[in-house]
């Protein structure tokens, strides 16, 4: 094998890497390609290719309830037969499909097509609903389009101020921290986080301001920042008049959020709020500054008011005249490896390829022509709604899961476990025996990053090539082979197993859509072209920066949407006086199915823990490492304490990368944002008490 240029399998930064051959079969050595380096996860990514429990043959559950090896034909025949029987008895929507934001564009596209053409079911959604949906909903209604960063990431490097709301990129995507240096040097890094995270720590030594708000109050804080900008004459009034539909609504909707009121809600001093607003405004183009950016992450978005919080951030950006200005703007830090591309091409309940609405008659007609069908199902249920409907009298009786580990990543896991157990058929495709795969009736072993060709789309909307470096082990096949094999058995044609052919079809399907890939070819990408969508024809250079000439709305103006703060759905009470907050660690990724199998990463962070403030620990009479019990309205767990001043006294932080009895999502709330369908992962009331050994465990 010669060296192969590809990209890291983890976050949406998609760092370029070169893979080099080593002596062991299926193994490679990774090196960074081009500028910059890799984080700890990226350096150890090749270890996942050769983990001891890698799935290499299909598995089927026998009469004794055990998963045993079987052939591909037997597994495919069994699944197709069960699907046909269930649909004959209960209708097309009796079968559901759940995808993932780590699938290549080709797989995500084929998954949506398979659901709607081969299965003819409306029930398809994906785990990006847990990740990007609030930002997507907010940017679509404000700007008419959703691209995580509507500008290249490198633009951040020249900014004089960056407001990060709920994003800990120093741990989630460390190579991106280099782009914050300009703002730090100018004292303009502003970080909203209830913890003194690694990112918030970058504000030390006059690098910026840490706004350590009470969990669930980011919306109130941003409303107050906007109030200061508008009331102190710091807004870009010319921009508002020319490029925003209703500047007066922006003023009216923030008029009552003076900083002293926000201080009572958020805990951030009014003086700090004013200072942060002035620092951000000073960097804005209207004041001759170096440039300003507002960026949101999961900490702001994973709430039942996440869409409104992102909307408030967009409104603040509009007040300062940032979107569409070179060197300034609003953006969302996409999390999953293909979180951007994965939500563009049809695996969302309400979408068709090209980021088209499934309810749009013209979009439906276009896709029916491309797919050669006469009808398509309508919109389905969002992820949590879909999960909650599984096995119910009028809900799906079968579920196919691709690229997601629901039994770690979904909220209120006791309910999820119950719903999965009620199914008549659970099919999981995965690379390792994840917690969800171990519950399945059939498991298909599939390829992973270095074993497949395809494309991914970075957080900037840049389309990248994934390239095969090693052959997959055993009888491993692509998800594309699963779709094609089942589609053929169900009497549906037109499903290729060749990712290059699938991409060519994706180009036609996306043509004319908001996320138009029709001008992107593998040949252009292989030649080194940097192509940011939309790329509407092969002669088009791509669109690295959106909104320079207006917004893709009917009148070309951005939309102001009035929003207001409301409390956390499961708010504090006498029995549960603290907030539970969940988040990520430097060493792990998503559900941990990959990183918990990498020895170096697992040894660095081997188990779940709860960060407690010393005041809380003293009240409980416990020390560092001693067991505490966390109890919410949905369940309880025992885990070791980490006593630290990095959290607020009213906050308990637990990482969510761990499974089984260490899964904190046993405790999190599945109440939904009414606009985006996002669950409220990030804040709920929790009771904390001293516990006895065993240190770790979950109970109902």
Over the stretch 619-646, which tens digit does the pLDDT of each residue have?
999 999 999 999 999 999 999 999 999 9
34 C-beta neighbours (distance < 10 Å), count: 9
> For residue 700, what pLDDT band results from cuts at 50, 70 and 90?
very low
Answer whether 7's CB lies under 8 Å from 14's CB: yes
pLDDT of residue 693 exceeding 80: no
Query: Hey, is 499 helix, strand or coil?
Result: helix
Return d(Cα 446, Cα 626) in angstroms, integer: 41
Say which range, 20-34, 173-187, 422-436, has the weakest mean pLDDT.
20-34
Helix (H) or strand (E) holding 351: strand 351-352
pLDDT of residue 379 exceeding 60: yes
Partnered with residue 466 across adjacent β-strands are 454
Task: Write the burial class of residue 85 (CB in 10 Å: 0-12 exposed, 13-18 middle, 19+ buried).
Answer: middle
Q: Model confidence over 516-543: pLDDT tens digits? A: 999 999 999 999 999 999 999 999 999 9
Task: State the CATH architecture for 133-332.
Answer: 3-Layer(aba) Sandwich (3.40)
> If you search the block for the tokens 């890497």, which residue do you land on?
17
Query: What's the confidence (pLDDT) of residue 21?
Result: 83
Distance of CA 211 to the CA centre of its chain: 24
pLDDT of residue 695 exceeding 60: no
CA 192, 196, 202, 208 torsion-angle sign: positive
The 8-class DSSP code of residue 342 comes to G
Average pLDDT over residues 651-659: 97
Query: Where are the chain's structural domains?
Result: 4-50, 59-129+338-371+389-405+417-497, 133-332, 578-699
Average pLDDT over residues 580-599: 95
Distance of CA 132 to the CA centre of its chain: 5
pLDDT of residue 698 exceeding 60: no
Q: Model confidence over 154-196: pLDDT tens digits? A: 999 999 999 999 999 999 999 999 999 999 999 999 999 999 9
CA 100, 353, 140, 395 torsion-angle sign: negative
pLDDT of residue 109 exceeding 90: yes
> For residue 23, what pLDDT band results from cuts at 50, 70 and 90?
confident
Average pLDDT, the chain: 96
Average pLDDT over residues 69-95: 98
> For residue 35, what pLDDT band results from cuts at 50, 70 and 90?
confident
Q: How is domain 59-129+338-371+389-405+417-497 classified at the CATH fold level?
A: Rossmann fold (3.40.50)
Average pLDDT over residues 257-264: 98
Average pLDDT over residues 496-500: 98
Average pLDDT over residues 41-59: 96
pLDDT of residue 697 exceeding 80: no
CA distances from 241 to 177, 244, 246, 293, 318 (A): 35, 6, 8, 21, 11
Rg (alpha carbons) of the chain, rounded to whole number: 24
% of the chain beyond a pLDDT of 70:
99
Query: What's the confidence (pLDDT) of residue 694?
Result: 58
Query: What's the confidence (pLDDT) of residue 699?
Result: 45
E-strand ranges in 203-337 read: 208-211, 292-296, 329-332
Return d(Cα 630, Cα 636) in angstroms, integer: 5
Q: Model confidence over 437-469: pLDDT tens digits? A: 999 999 999 999 999 999 999 999 999 999 999
Query: What's the confidence (pLDDT) of residue 1?
Result: 58
Task: State the CATH architecture for 4-50.
Answer: Single Sheet (2.20)
Say which range, 18-22, 64-68, 86-90, 669-673, has the weakest mean pLDDT.
18-22
B/e letters for 172-203, b = 16+ CB within 10 Å, e = fewer, are bbbbbbebbebbbebbbbbbbbbbbbbbbbbb
Answer whether 600's CB lies under 8 Å from 637's CB: no
Question: In terms of DSSP bridges, do strands 161-165 and 292-296 run parallel, antiparallel, or are they unpaired?
Answer: parallel
Query: What's the confidence (pLDDT) of residue 623?
Result: 92
> If you search the block for the tokens 């082990």, which residue do you land on?
473
474 C-beta neighbours (distance < 10 Å), count: 13
Q: How is domain 578-699 classified at the CATH fold level?
A: Barwin-like endoglucanases (2.40.40)
% of the chain beyond a pLDDT of 90:
96
Query: What's the confidence (pLDDT) of residue 510?
Result: 98
Average pLDDT over residues 645-665: 97
């Amino acid at each position: 094998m010669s060296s192969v240029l590809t990209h890291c399998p983890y976050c949406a930064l998609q760092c370029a890497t070169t893979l080099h051959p080593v002596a062991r079969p299926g193994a490679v050595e990774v090196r960074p390609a081009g500028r910059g380096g890799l984080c700890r996860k990226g350096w150890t990514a090749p270890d996942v290719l050769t983990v001891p429990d890698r799935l290499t043959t299909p598995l089927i559950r026998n009469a004794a309830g055990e998963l045993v090896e079987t052939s591909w034909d037997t597994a495919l025949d069994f699944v197709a037969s069960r699907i046909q029987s269930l649909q004959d008895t209960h209708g097309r929507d009796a079968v559901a499909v759940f995808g993932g934001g780590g699938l290549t564009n080709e797989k995500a596209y084929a998954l949506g097509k398979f659901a709607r053409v081969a299965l003819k079911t409306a029930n398809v959604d994906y785990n990006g609903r847990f990740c990007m949906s609030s930002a997507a909903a907010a940017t679509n209604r404000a700007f008419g389009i959703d691209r995580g960063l509507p500008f290249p990431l490198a633009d951040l490097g020249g900014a004089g101020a960056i407001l990060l709301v709920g994003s800990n990129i120093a741990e989630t995507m460390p190579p991106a921290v280099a782009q914050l240096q300009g703002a730090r040097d100018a004292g303009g890094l502003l970080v909203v986080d209830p913890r003194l995270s690694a990112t918030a720590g970058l504000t030390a030594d006059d690098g910026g301001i840490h706004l350590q708000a009470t969990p669930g109050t980011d919306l109130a804080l941003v409303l107050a920042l906007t109030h200061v900008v508008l009331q102190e004459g710091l807004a870009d009034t010319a921009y508002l008049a020319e490029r925003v539909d209703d500047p007066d609504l922006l003023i009216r909707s923030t008029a009552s959020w003076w900083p002293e009121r926000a201080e009572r809600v958020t805990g951030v001093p009014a003086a700090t709020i004013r200072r942060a607003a002035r620092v951000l405004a000073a960097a804005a183009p209207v004041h001759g500054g170096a440039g300003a950016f507002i960026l949101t992450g999961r900490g702001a978005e994973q709430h039942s008011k996440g869409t409104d919080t992102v909307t408030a951030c967009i409104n603040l950006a509009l007040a300062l005249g940032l979107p569409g200005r070179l060197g300034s703007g609003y953006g969302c830090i996409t999390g999953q490896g293909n979180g951007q591309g994965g939500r563009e091409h049809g695996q969302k309940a309400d979408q068709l390829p090209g980021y088209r609405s499934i309810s749009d008659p013209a979009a439906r007609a276009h896709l029916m022509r491309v797919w050669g069908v006469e009808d398509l199902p309508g919109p389905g249920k969002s992820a949590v709604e879909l999960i909650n409907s599984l096995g119910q009298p009028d809900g799906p009786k079968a579920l196919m899961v691709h690229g997601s580990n629901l039994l770690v990543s979904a909220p209120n896991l006791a309910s999820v476990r119950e719903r999965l157990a009620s199914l008549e058929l659970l099919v999981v495709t995965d690379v390792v025996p994840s917690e969800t795969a171990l519950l399945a009736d059939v498991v298909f072993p599939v390829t992973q990053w270095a074993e497949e060709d395809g494309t991914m789309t970075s957080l900037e909307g840049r389309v990248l090539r994934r390239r095969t470096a090693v052959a997959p082990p055993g009888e491993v096949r692509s998800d594309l082979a699963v779709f094609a094999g089942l589609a053929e058995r169900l009497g549906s044609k037109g499903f290729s197993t060749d990712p290059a052919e699938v991409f060519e079809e994706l180009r036609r399907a996306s043509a004319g859509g908001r996320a138009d890939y029709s001008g992107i070819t593998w040949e252009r990408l292989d030649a080194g072209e940097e192509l940011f969508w939309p790329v509407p024809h092969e002669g088009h250079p791509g669109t690295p920066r959106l909104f320079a000439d207006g917004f893709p709305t009917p009148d070309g103006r951005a939309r102001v949407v009035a929003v207001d703060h409301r409390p956390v759905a499961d708010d504090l009470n006498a029995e549960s006086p603290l907030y539970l907050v969940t988040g990520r660690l430097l060493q792990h990724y998503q559900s941990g199915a990959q990183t918990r199998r990498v020895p170096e990463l697992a040894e660095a962070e081997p188990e779940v823990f709860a960060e407690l403030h010393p005041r809380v620990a003293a009240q409980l009479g416990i020390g560092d490492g001693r067991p505490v019990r966390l109890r919410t309205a949905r369940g309880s767990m025992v885990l070791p304490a980490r006593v630290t001043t990095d959290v607020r006294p009213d906050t308990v932080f637990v990482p969510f990368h761990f499974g089984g009895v260490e899964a904190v999502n046993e405790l999190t709330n599945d109440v939904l944002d009414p606009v985006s369908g996002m669950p409220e992962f990030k804040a709920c009331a929790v009771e904390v008490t001293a516990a006895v050994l065993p240190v770790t465990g979950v109970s109902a």
